[in-house]
Every structure is written in structure tokens, then in C-alpha cells.
Amino acid sequence: MSDFEIMIDGQTVGASDGETVLTAAIRAGVSIPTLCHDPRLDPAAACRTCLVEVSGSGRLQPACAWKAQADMTVVTENPRIKRHRAVLLSMYLADHALDDEGLPVERPNGNQLREMVIKEGHAFDLVPVAAPRGNREDKNPYVQFNPDACILCARCTRYCDEVEAVSAISLAGRGSATTISTVAERSLLDTSCELCGGCIDVCPTGAMFEGKAPVHAPEAIEKVRSTCNFCGVGCQLDLNVLDGKVIKVTAPPPGTTVNDGNLCVKGRFAYDFVHHDDRLTTPLIRRDDGELHPCSWDEAISAAAAGLLAVKKNHGADALGFISSARCTVEENYLVQKMSRAAFGTNNCHQCAAT
Amino acid sequence: MEKKGSKRQAVLDALTGQGLSREAMARVAELTGVPEADVYGVGTFYTLLAEPGPRVCQGLSCKLAGGDALAEKLEAKGTVHRVSCLGQCDRAPVSLGENNRLDVAGPRGGISPDNPGLVMNLAGEDDPSYPALAWARKMGGEAVIDELEASGLQGRGGAGFPAHIKWRAVRAEAEPTKYVVCNADEGEPGTFKDREIMLRRPQLMLEALAIAAFVTGCEAIYIYVRGEFPEETDALKAALAKGGLEDFEFRFIEGHGAYICGEETALIESIEGRRGMPRLKPPYPTQQGLWGKPTLMNNVETLACVPDILLRGGARFLALGKTEPGTKLYCLSGHVNNPGVYELPLGASLNELVAAGGGFVGTPLAFSPGGASSGVLPMSLADEPLDFKSLAAHGSMLGSAGVVVLNDTVDMAWVAQVQAVFFEDESCGQCAPCRIGARLVRQALDRYLQSGNPDNLEHIEELAWEMTEGSICGLGMVAAEPAVTARRHFSDHFGVRP
Ligand SMILES: Cc1cc2nc3c(=O)[nH]c(=O)nc-3n(C[C@H](O)[C@H](O)[C@H](O)COP(=O)(O)O)c2cc1C
Ligand code: SF4
């Protein structure tokens, strides 16, 4: 349901009160470049890539923040906007790590600035500005930061504040020396950071990146949607698979799944077990020789049942206790207590996340 | 996201004198409930917090008067920070010592001789009975605003926005909590007029603030004084202590070394205890300003005009102007005999102003009419009115009326470089065109001055175009103006030091 209509590039588009030009444009299939925009965050309009012409304003205005109003006319492509984008991108190139071809470097999570320069072009080459951004050594294995690939769009700091309510990182310094920093440039391990890695997901240029994931061409990756099994919330995650191995976990785009693009430290980073040598892939029974031997599920369940029933028979049901795991679903946890109470007759049941 | 019960507003005060160590951050975070990294982000934004201690001015007027030699002398004695503006161009060259008090400085600059016919009359005496406030109370808020409208008073902070429109807008807001803010963050190189009002006629401004609070129904009055002006804060407090305005709640906020906090929304962010990064507009402060409430913000000089407008009538004020309403405080420095602050009819020319300031030193070549932001103009415009409209028509602006005169001994490329250093230092860094552009422009000028090769300046005009089109606020929009206008008007004196 729209409240009124606006005109974008000659196309009539419905829009609602409070909606931005960008939201209306996306719905209408009009593409406007953005770098600092994230639907979960208040608009910053800092990257300036989404500037468009709107009726009633002589200045170019940011589509990500400018509110749609009845009978507004918006132009997203014309020589002025093209010139603006080309010169702006030339400036970004002077402040970014470049590859041999003079394009913004490839980054582990892709680099949207690179894609934008390839798509929109730039006006001229400039001498790099070598901004004095410093560099923070961080011993944590998960979240790393490369200031040379940072465009200061502040998505990471705004995400950390507005979505996670953690504020472990902030814009620090001023002017060309502005950078992303923890308090007094400490390691993230030494801050309020929960290592959720959301800053990596929101970073458009891969300046925030996962320390342990190998660098790869994004095209080679197959993304397999899965459900995180560390707790019962059921966050959706994308296993990034290369040559049959999970090399990284990313969150599905915001707005598409229950977790809205968010993950916690376990879901995002604790995937090493998947391919670990010590991982159990079959049930084991300890036989008379004292060693664990592989067996079938039927054998394992029978052995467990026999053992539990023997305890109940010799010592009574309350000699038994059942503890289930936070990694089980609600339904599985329900079944464990049912088994405890109804099948074995004891109230000694607990779940590790219930305290 | 604010944590429940946090006292963000207290962050900047709590950071003062603490340094930026981890321990200090932890203390301030504990005290205020604001996360440590956030506190650090705020602290590193403000130079008086990040780099406290003595400072020496490297602004244009100071450099013309031997600022480099002074800097070297002070550096030989100990640590001193080189900064781009200390707001004392008439006393150049200057340095600040401990607690941001003036250390080295020339004699006080000139002012217009005592003349009761003037509006602000810096040489006059304050009237402690606050007669204009009494007038406002008797006649009511509408009458005050009508008088402001009749006066044609335009904002003196730089933009020239009609004062009555803002006053009326805030008065009309139904929201019960509203604020009045006085912008005394004067930091535009070449500008030191608000300083003189605060030192010489503090009551004019305090009285106007009380009138503004009365007219708009505001809860509290905030006065944001630049951190390098402790004496001015003292003067205001002393004037207030004389009594007469007890019905109004005045709160003083000291700046912490960031020119951008003169921009109204950055100033609001700063009062709230944040990094001074300008907000997106709309909403405008009159709608959603301090803590989201309707806020009336005016410049010191705008306010200082109000008592006279009420007491002697808007029509008289209007008629005092030459091309635009009222009188204006023009700051004059650089190559002139008597730098200072002169109150002249708005629309006076450069030649008239310099006549008030004792004449030129040497053969004048160029002038900057409204601070660094206004770029530079040729002497062929010395008889043009220094007002909002005509200067805009010449691609410049009246801005803060910080007039700097340059004679033919200067290299205009060097002038542009000095101004470019200021803008690079003072960019808040929020938006890319200004953050990267200001540095690109400064570096290009550096390379040009070192090599003499004009290829280094090849893209300056195009960068300037994008900075004007693409920047969020006025700082980025004008940051390349000195370079562009110096090239446009002074090809003969660009890169040449005769
Ligand atoms: C970069 C920048 C710096 C500014 N600095 C000041 C300042 O130091 N003092 C001031 O009064 N206004 C300054 N302004 C203008 C304010 O944003 C605002 O327009 C003014 O305070 C409004 O008051 P007025 O209407 O009385 O002029 C600045 C604006 C910009 C863009
Ligand atoms: S133009 Fe400059 S000072 Fe203004 S918001 Fe952008 S970066 Fe900050």
C-alpha cells in the first residue's frame, strides 16, 4: 500500500510516508549505487555514492536518507550525476589499496568499491593520499582490519552500536586521519567485543575481514544455506564451500531470514569441527577390551537403553539424570524431558542452557 | 544506541585534562555509562583533548606577521602544536600557553571609535538594566519578531539567513521543551568579531539570549564558546554574575578544538557529547535540534544586534545599512596598518574598511572577504560592497566577514596552501569528498610549490566541483575555494614570489 506517488527517472512509483527515495527506487527496480547503506541502520549518507537529483533541492541529495514526498521527481542518471560519481570514485581510488591494474584490491569478502569502479568508471588517476590512518595489531583470530581497504562508511561502527548495542569499535581521529578503532587501539579480545563478526558482514570493501579464512575468488565459492546448530534459535547461515570444504560462514542478507543478517561468534566462527580429524562421524561403543569401537545407531541405542534400565532396576529411577544440550532444538529438548519423566520416571532432567 | 541512564552529555567535560589512555577511557566510561570505544572516538576528534598543551597559530594572518619564526622559537623551547587558527589575527603572530590562555600576542587590535549611533558600538558601555528585555516583556513575543522582521537582520554566522524566520519557527513549535543556543565557536581564519563582543559588550548578547528564550518559550540557554577563548567565557560569566538575568538558565559549554563545531548541527552533536560531525539536513535545528527538540541557534553578532533593534526600532536598523540591512562588524587583518574589528554599514567596500583600519601596508594585491572559506578576490573589486549578495555574485561570500588583505609580496599559491592546510586539519572526515578532497588539494599545492610544475594542479577545479556538489556540509563545499580562486584571479602571482 502506498500513500502517494513519486517519479523516478520518468517512471511512476508508489511510496509511503517516511520512506526514503532509495527504498522506493529499489522497489521499482531502479538501481542506485550505495556503499554505506544498510537497511538495519540509520542512514549516514557518508559515502555520497547515492546522490541523486530531487525536485525542490538545488543540491544533489542522498537517496538513502532523503524522504520521498508526494509528487517528487527524482533523477538518478544524467551528466551531472555521472560526473559526480566519476570524480568521487577517483577520490576513493586515491585513498584505497589498489591492484596492478589500478583497481581497488580484491578482498576476502569481495569489494564493492572495486565493482562500482568497474561499472561506473572514474574520471582520472590521482596521486595516492597516503592518509595517516595507523594500523592496529590485533591478536584475535577472527576479526581483522585493514585500514588501506577502508572507506570510512562507518557501517561496522554503526552496526556494532545500533544492532549489537556493543560499541566495541568507533570512528576515531578526524579528517583524513579518521579510522576505525577500539578503545586506545586495543585488541578486540581486550574490549567489549563479542566477536560476532557482524562488522565483517557489513563491510562493503572487505576492510574488516575474517583472520582465518583463506583469500579466494568469490566466484569459486558455493554458498550452502544451513541452520546453525549451536543453539535453538535457528539462525540461518551460509556455509561457504570451496572444493567440498567449509572455509567460512556468512550470514544470509538482512531481511531474508529470521536472524536478519546477524550471527553470533559460534555460528560465524566455530565451524572448524566440521572437517576436524577428531570429529565423531559414527556412534562408538566401549567393548570389553576397554576401547571404543564403531557400531550402528541401533546397537548404540540398545546399549544405552540397557544400561539406563539396569541402573533404574538396581538403584531406582532417581538414580538417573538426563542433561540435554543447548545445541538441540526445542522439540528435541522436549523429547528428552519426556523420556526422563514418562519413560524412566524421574524428574532429574536438565538442559545446559536452562540455568 | 544510548545505554539506559548514561550521561553522554558529561563525556567531553569528563575527558578534559585526562589524556586518552586506556585507564582514562575506562574512568570516563564508568562515570558516564558511555562505552569505552565511543568515549575514545569522541576524545580523538577534538584536538584540545587529543593534543593538549601550548599551540602556535599558523593561520594566514599569523604567517604574514612572522608566525613561522615564532613557531620555531617556541619549538626550540619545548613541545608546541602548530594549529591553523587561534582567532587572534589582529594580534598576530600569537601562541597559547597553559590552559589555552594567550601567551605571545601583539597589542589588542583596533575598534571603531565610540559612537552611540552604532548598533553594537564595541567602544560603548553595557547597560546593566537590560532595557531591551524589559521592552520585550512589555510588548510580547510577536512584537519582538515583527521588529526583527522589519529590521531585515540576517544571520551573522555566515549564511545570512533571516533571523526572524528562525525565531518565528521555534516560537511556533508546539513541543514544550525547546532550547536557545548561542554559537560562539568562532573559528573561521580571519575572524575575531564575536570575540570582541564577548570581551567588550557581553551584555548585548546575554540580553538577546534572554529575549530569545522569552520569545520562543525555551527551557534553557546554551552558550558554546570555542575552547581557545577562555577569557571570553570568563567575560560572559562575569557579566552574568552582575545580575539581572536570574529568570533564565544559562549553561556554558566550552569547545575542545574543532572548527567544524561552528557548523550548527555539529555544534549540537558536540553539546550532546559526541564527535562533532554535522548531521544531515533536514530536519533543521528549528525542528529537531538539541536532543531532538526545536532549537534556535544564532551567532553572537546576530544576537548582539537584537537589543538595539528593539530599542530603536527595526526600521532604523534597516536604514543603517548601505546595500543590506544594518551595520556589520568587519574583521580586518593582514597587510593593513591597524588590524581590528570595525563596525560599518553593511555593504561597505574593502577600500572603506581599510580606510577605517589605517590604510594598506604595501601595494595591495588581493583580499579574502569572509574568512578562508570565501577564497580570494582581486583588488579590482575593492570598491564593491562587502555584503551577502554582491560577494555571492562574484563567486565568493561575506561569510563571517573576516577580511584579510594581501599585498604584492605574497605568492597566491602559498596563500592557497596555507588555507588548504586549515581545511584538511578541520574536516570532520565523515564524508569522502571533503575528507579525501581536502587532502588531495593540499598535497597538490605542496607538490606544486616544491616543483613549480603546474601539472600537479591539473585536476583541482574538477575536485573542487565535486567537493561542492558532493560534500555534506559547508566546510567541504568551500575547502578548495582558496586554490580555485587564487588560480582564477591571480595567474600572474601564482607560484611567483616577487
Ligand atoms: C563549516 C562551518 C563553520 C561554521 N562556523 C560558525 C561559527 O564559528 N560561528 C557561527 O556563528 N556560525 C558558524 N557557522 C554557521 C552556522 O552553521 C549557523 O548557520 C549559524 O550559527 C546560525 O546563526 P545565524 O543565523 O545567527 O548566523 C558555520 C557553518 C559551517 C558550515
Ligand atoms: S563536508 Fe567535511 S566537515 Fe562537512 S560533513 Fe563532510 S567531511 Fe565533515
Q: What is the CATH number of the domain that holds B302?
A: 3.40.50.11540
Which 51-80 residues of chain A touch chain B by CB within 8 A? 51, 59-60, 62, 65, 80
CA–CA distance, A154 with A162 (Å, rounded to integer): 11
Candidate from B265, B268, B279, B473 with most ligand 2 atoms within 8 A of CB, to mutate: B473
Same domain, B436 and B360: no
A126 with B440: Cβ contact below 8 A? yes
Predicted pLDDT of residue A355: 54
User: Any idea what DSSP says for residue A159?
Assistant: I
Give the CA-trace dihedral at A95, A98, A103, A107, to 10 degrees: -100
Contacts of B439 in chain A (CB under 8 A): 129, 131, 175-176
Same domain, B265 and B168: yes
A167 with B37: Cβ contact below 8 A? yes
Same domain, B53 and B31: yes
pLDDT digits (tens, 9 = 90+) for B269-293: 999 999 999 999 999 999 999 999 9
Contact partners, residue B94, CB within 8 Å, separation at least 6: B56, B57, B62, B86, B88, B102, B103, B104, B105, B106
Chosen for mutation from B36, B42, B477 (greatest number of chain A CBs closer than 10 Å) is B36
Q: Is residue A295 classed as helix, strand or coil in its secondary structure?
A: coil
Q: Which ligand is nearest to the CA of B45?
A: 2
Count the neighbouring beta carbons within 10 Å of the beta carbon of residue B223.
Answer: 25
Same domain, B361 and B343: yes
- The more confident residue out of A31 and B219 is A31
Same domain, B267 and B216: yes
Same domain, B442 and B346: no
Same domain, B146 and B257: yes
CB-nearest to A161 from B1, B280, B426 is B1
* Helices B141-151, B163-172: inter-axial angle, 10-degree rounding: 160
Report the CATH number at residue B368: 3.10.20.600
Predicted pLDDT of residue B411: 97
Residue B5's pLDDT band (cuts 50, 70, 90): confident
- The answer to whether the CB of B187 is under 6 A from ligand 1 is yes
Pairing mode, if any, of strands B179-184 and B295-299?
A: parallel
Number of domains in chain B: 4
CA–CA distance, B184 with B206 (Å, rounded to integer): 12
pLDDT less than 50: residues of chain A: none
The residue-averaged pLDDT of B80-108 equals 96
Same domain, B441 and B479: yes
pLDDT digits (tens, 9 = 90+) for B315-338: 999 999 999 999 999 999 999 999
B37 with A47: Cβ contact below 8 A? no
Answer yes or no: is B416 within a domain. yes
Contacts of A83 in chain B (CB under 8 A): 465-466
Contacts of B427 in chain A (CB under 8 A): 174-176
A51 with B469: Cβ contact below 8 A? yes
Contacts of B1 in chain A (CB under 8 A): 161-162, 165, 167
Answer yes or no: is B121 within a domain. no
Q: Is residue A222 classed as helix, strand or coil in its secondary structure?
A: strand
Count the neighbouring beta carbons within 10 Å of the beta carbon of residue B162.
Answer: 16
Interface check for A83 against chain B (CB to CB < 8 A): the answer is: yes
Q: How close is the Cα of B290 to the center of ligand 2, in Å?
A: 19
Q: Is residue A88 classed as helix, strand or coil in its secondary structure?
A: helix
- Domain positions in chain A are 4-120, 138-211, 217-279, 284-351
What is the nearest CA distance from B431 to chain A, expressed in angstroms?
Answer: 5
Same domain, B226 and B288: yes
Pairing mode, if any, of strands A73-75 and A4-8?
A: parallel
Q: How close is the Cα of A205 to the center of ligand 1, in Å?
A: 35
Domain boundary among B271, B289, B318: B318
Count the neighbouring beta carbons within 10 Å of the beta carbon of residue B51.
Answer: 14
Amino acid at B177: T
Contacts of B426 in chain A (CB under 8 A): 175
Report the CATH number at residue B48: 3.40.30
The residue-averaged pLDDT of B154-170 equals 97
Domain boundary among B353, B375, B407: B407
Answer yes or no: is B417 within a domain. yes
Predicted pLDDT of residue A233: 84
Predicted pLDDT of residue B3: 81
Q: Which residue has the cell 521527481?
A: A73
Predicted pLDDT of residue A229: 86
Q: Which residue of A has its CA nearest to B431?
A: A46
CA–CA distance, A113 with A104 (Å, rounded to integer): 7
B38 with A167: Cβ contact below 8 A? yes
Answer yes or no: is B347 within a domain. yes
Dihedral sign from CA coordinates of B181, B184, B185, B190: positive
Look at ligand 2, atom 4, and give the residue with the nearest C-alpha: B473
pLDDT averaged over every residue in chain B: 97
Residue B489 has pLDDT above 80, yes or no: yes
Q: How close is the Cα of B46 to the center of ligand 2, in Å?
A: 15
Q: How far is CA B45 from the centre of its chain?
A: 18
Detail the DSSP E strand segments found in B142-262: 179-184, 220-225, 250-254
CATH topology of domain A217-279: N-terminal domain of TfIIb (2.20.25)
CA–CA distance, A37 with A45 (Å, rounded to integer): 7
Q: Contact at 8 Å (CB) between B40 and B15? A: no
Contacts of B470 in chain A (CB under 8 A): 48, 51, 60, 84, 87-88
CB-nearest to A129 from B50, B436, B469 is B436
Q: Which ligand is nearest to the CA of B208?
A: 1
Report the CATH number at residue B442: 1.20.1440.230
- Going by C-alpha positions, the residue among B53, B65, B62 that lies closest to residue B88 is B62
Contact partners, residue A244, CB within 8 Å, separation at least 6: none
CA–CA distance, A15 with A191 (Å, rounded to integer): 42
CB-nearest to A170 from B20, B38, B465 is B38
Predicted pLDDT of residue A187: 93
CATH dotted code for A4-120? 3.10.20.740
What is the nearest CA distance from B120 to chain A, expressed in angstroms?
Answer: 36
- Going by C-alpha positions, the residue among B387, B414, B389, B417 that lies closest to residue B403 is B387
A170 with B41: Cβ contact below 8 A? yes
As to burial, measured by CB atoms within 10 angstroms (0-12 exposed, 13-18 middle, 19+ buried), residue B91 is buried
pLDDT digits (tens, 9 = 90+) for B167-205: 999 999 999 999 999 999 999 999 999 999 999 999 999
A167 with B433: Cβ contact below 8 A? no
What is the nearest CA distance from B39 to chain A, expressed in angstroms?
Answer: 8
Answer yes or no: is B457 within a domain. yes
pLDDT digits (tens, 9 = 90+) for B10-60: 999 999 988 899 999 999 999 999 999 999 999 999 999 999 999 999 999
DSSP letters, B356-405, are: HTT-BSS-EEEEESSSGGG--EEGGGTTSB-SHHHHHHTT---TT-EEEE
Domain boundary among B360, B390, B407: B407
Interface check for A173 against chain B (CB to CB < 8 A): the answer is: yes
User: Ligand 1, closest atom to CA B163?
Assistant: 25
Answer yes or no: is B311 within a domain. yes
Q: Which ligand is nearest to the CA of B436?
A: 2
Q: How close is the Cα of B266 to the center of ligand 1, in Å?
A: 10
Degrees (nearest 5) of the Cα angle B170, B175, B177? 85
Same domain, B332 and B475: no
A181 with B22: Cβ contact below 8 A? no
Contacts of B257 in chain A (CB under 8 A): none
Domain A138-211: top CATH class: alpha beta
Q: Which helix (H) or strand (E) holds B407?
A: strand B402-407
Show the ligand 2 pocket: residues with CB < 6 angstroms.
B 260, 277-278, 427-431, 434-435, 471-473, 475-476
Interface check for A18 against chain B (CB to CB < 8 A): the answer is: no
Same domain, B279 and B178: yes
Q: How far is CA A157 from the centre of its chain?
A: 14
Long-range contacts of A34-38 (CB under 8 A, 24+ apart): A34/A63, A34/A64, A35/A112, A35/A113, A35/A116, A35/A151, A35/A153, A35/A204, A35/A205, A36/A64, A36/A153, A36/A154, A36/A155, A36/A204, A37/A64, A38/A155, A38/A158, A38/A159, A38/A202, A38/A254
Q: Which domain holds residue B342?
A: 327-407
A174 with B443: Cβ contact below 8 A? no
CA–CA distance, A324 with A309 (Å, rounded to integer): 18
Same domain, B290 and B398: no
H helical segments located in chain A: 21-27, 79-93, 112-120, 155-158, 198-202, 265-269, 297-315, 330-338
Q: Contact at 8 Å (CB) between B16 and B256? A: yes
Answer yes or no: is B74 within a domain. yes
Answer yes or no: is B124 within a domain. no
Q: Which residue of A has its CA nearest to B26?
A: A183
Predicted pLDDT of residue B415: 98
Q: Contact at 8 Å (CB) between B245 and B208? A: no
Dihedral sign from CA coordinates of B161, B162, B166, B167: positive
Pairing mode, if any, of strands A349-351 and A322-324?
A: parallel
